[in-house]
Structure 1
Amino acid sequence: MHFSIPDTQELTDNNGSTYLAYNLQANGWQHCSLRYRQLLHLHQMLQHDLPSNLLPSFPPKRLFPLSASQVEERRQALEKYVLALSQETRVLLNHNFNGFLACAQHESYTGGGAVEEVPIQVYLMNGQRIIINGTDAMQSQHLLQKVCNQISLSLELMNDFALFIVRKKDNELRLVKKLQNFECPYISLKSLRGSHRIVLRKNYWVSSSFYCDEERVISDLVGLGLVYGQVVAEVQFGWLLVSDEQHQILAQLQASGQKREYLKFASSLSNYGSLLFGPCIADFPVPNTKIYIAVGNNELSFRVKEFQKNSILEGNFRVTRIRCWRISTHQTGEDAV
């Protein structure tokens, strides 16, 4: 998880008074806008819930109005604070922490409006649509539980799945992001432009051994159907790279209804269990080349389509540890946040 405060903005409250708000981003996506005193309140709640040695120091109050340079100094200090919070697992799992950020997202989106009852559409990877009667303030974990109940998935397997936002356009399906528990899925979806939807997907990495977490999940009839539907979709949308011969074998297994055999064969493919992102724009091999990035099995996979040969070049890079990283977004048009 990566939190940042890249900038500030001046807002107006219900009384017509202006105040300075800090724009909080989570993994590069705008989440909410917060006042200094709201962040101080969050810090005080965490002090009550967690040992003091887990929490970074909070930027101090000032008695007089801030100058422009002092505003920037405070922004940097608050960004350092929230970044430190995002690296602490016990903070990310804290109920008050997640509830605070979910409320802040709702308040920022609605302008402090009341919670409303709304239908929330969630899709399975096979295209099946599920409608949940919820609220615009419902958090991701609560929505996930309602979805699992409706499809009769054992609650023991609930944490093996998660909610994601994907973008479907033409014959492409792009993964946008995983919905965190401090998010309100309805608001996160409505905040995006373009054709997006919430989907239920696997929430675990698949190692080189097929019979691990996967076997435990597909031993359940509903779990088997979910994983099978997801893998079929990944083959259909090109997330899994398959040769003509492999595609024929998978088609035969699908036609005969051999779900477990289909999954076992698919697990032998190089990118099985990976998450496909993209496209990114690169200058190689020619300017403005679209590159798709797949992450999984301790590898980063970069895919470049050669239009002259109508083939896909793939390069894999082994990743065992990331010591320093940063997320930023630069999007225009329908993909703009």
Structure 2
Amino acid sequence: MARADIGIDLGTANVIVYVSGKGIVLEEPSVVAIDKKTKSVLAVGEEARRMIGKTPGHICAIRPLREGVISDYDVTEKMLKYFIDKIAGKKGFGKFFMPRIMVCVPTGVTEVEKRAVEEASKEAGAREVYIIEEPIAAAIGAGIDISQPNGNMVIDIGGGTTDIAVISLGGAVVSESIKVGGDRFDEAIVRYIKKQHNILIGERTAERIKIEVGSAFKTDDNKTMKITGRNLVTGLPVSIMIDSKEALEAIDECAEQIVAVAHSVLERTPPEIAADISDTGIIMTGGGALLRGLDKRIEDRTGIKVTIAEQPLSCVAKGTGSALSSLDVLETGGAFRRK
């Protein structure tokens, strides 16, 4: 019987899977397409994401995770089972593949939400399930030795949440999670375009704006792009140009919330650990870390150097998988829960 350890970054926007000895083996959107008539799964991942906003009435493309937690248990279970089966088939683990799985969750989730993740993972085929908080996993994935008595600060910005933690001796000394992430940035852009231009755009167009011209810090580099949406007066498609200045105006409030929480966490950090962070700096991980200028904005407010981790999108998944080899250290620090 083949055995393996799997780390799963069960994100609001993407599911990233790490397998011990093999690295990242799967990275797909957290989207499932369901036939409402038969209740059957039609597509999962990237194939399902392409259906968002384009499905007929009887097909529903849904995201079963909202703001970092499971909003639809049954669909999440089906999605996890699909991905685990896909890995088992691709990697030749064998018919009786039953892995140990470490799944990350946002800081501060409730016991009920943790149990939902555990049960969904067990139903999907896990032999043993462990739960770890996202900033701890992100720190491990970014190459930080969290077992040492040194203070490190991690800001992990995902699709549904931003998790900020000060870590030392295998656990979080101070931490906070807010329900602001990539999705909130997208929603803010949709609202801004609707209010300022009287045009309705979809979430995929909003995401393109965020990635291509988005900025969280004032800059002289004003990028522009052409977008198409539906004019709310005529009902017809119309194209306009959007620039970085408008994108900043759209997402400014969301970016400020993240910066304010980072500042608040630092204020609550013990002096000795704060001194360590002042020396080592702040590490940013997650897809949101790639938003242009957000690192500079946090650095400007806190006065502490901010570094974006190498491969920030996969840090949490890597850390989640690697954490299974150091369970004792993490359990001592209170960083994970054993099921």
User: TM-score per shorter chain, which class?
Assistant: under 0.3
Larger Rg: 1
The structure, 1 or 2, with the larger RCO (C-alpha pairs under 8 Å, 6+ apart) is 2
Q: Going by fraction, where is helix more abundant, 1 or 2?
A: 2
TM-score norm. by structure 1 comes to: 0.27
